[in-house]
Structure 1
Amino acid sequence: MHRRKFVIGVGSLAAGSAAAIGTGAFDSVEAERTVTAELADDADAYLALESSSSHSEVDPNGRLKIFDINGITNDGGGHGVGGNSEYHFDGVFEVTNQGTDTVHFYVGGLGTFVNGNDELANVYVYEDGARDTPLDGDAGALQIDSGTTESIGVYVETGDVDVEPDGSTTNSYNGTATVYAEIDDPTN
């Protein structure tokens, strides 16, 4: 009989202690968990990037090489952009929103490329049909609904470049761009 009173007493004490302590809220917690994320090629990612012209290609790692001015020879024999010129390349690549939410797409990290004191080029991407609106997050971002594909072009304005007698140039530039897809419009 004493055992039963003891168990009831302990149960009452535990219930009373929980009520006295409060709601169970805490100030801090640290918990270690495992996370698994599967990486996909650009074409299979939630924001798919796919080549749609001879001005872009997918590298052996499945990543879109958005633009390669050097080394592109077109069917007419051209081999790159000239100095002091502006170029619009429509339909260079396509962006498909394979996620579930509408996103705002833009590309950062492009802009003005310089070599010493010489401005070599100004580069930005744009939505086909809207050549004057850079998709850079400041001037513009393209809203892409879930399941929608948009065609993207590349604008290149070159500065004064020195061309050698063999047609090569001593001025070149390489850039790495960062592709963004955000729920909130960065231009607001």
Structure 2
Amino acid sequence: MSMMTKRLVSVLAAASMLLTMASTSAQGVTPPAVGTQAPAVTPKNTAPGAVREIDWDELLPPDARARFAAAPPAAVHDYLGEGGMAAQQVMDFSINKALEGANIKIPGFIVPLDVGKDGLVTEFFLVPYFGACIHVPPPPPNQIVYVRMAKGVALDSIYEAYWITGRMKTSNKTTRLGAAAYQLDANKVEIYKY
């Protein structure tokens, strides 16, 4: 793809997001600040084969979780935590292998990748904070989930956090907006209730 074509695609993507934001703003929805984290999950006991609620740190392999738990926090003045965990693992495709084939439910923000003529989103990235892949650099691949939904979903707002439920796969997917170390075949999308 030529540099001019890449720039045109980038400009069109930005224009599309601005139109979506303007439309949502007109509907009275206030967007969260860029970098707003997805809500934390309270773990629940689940039976084998049942849907398990997970949080974003569970996407990291156990050794990475231990390493980051022992590290000092990013400086308070550090914009969007650029010295924090996400910045320290740029392009990290390491995964939590225990999630392969698991039925999971995870909260996050949707970055649409494919919108059909009917307006339904059938492919999207699920990310841990608002603005990821659009307004700020993307999180590391092991903090992005590529989601496919055969039926598609009509998004009320890209500013909302959503619960996504489905079967997790540990395989990579790269698009112009970022790279994901996980794929989720979703069967349910619902707005996160704060």
**Shorter-chain TM-score above 0.5:** no
TM-score (norm 1): 0.25
For the pair shown, which has the larger CA radius of gyration, 1 or 2?
Answer: 1
Which protein has the bigger helix share? 2
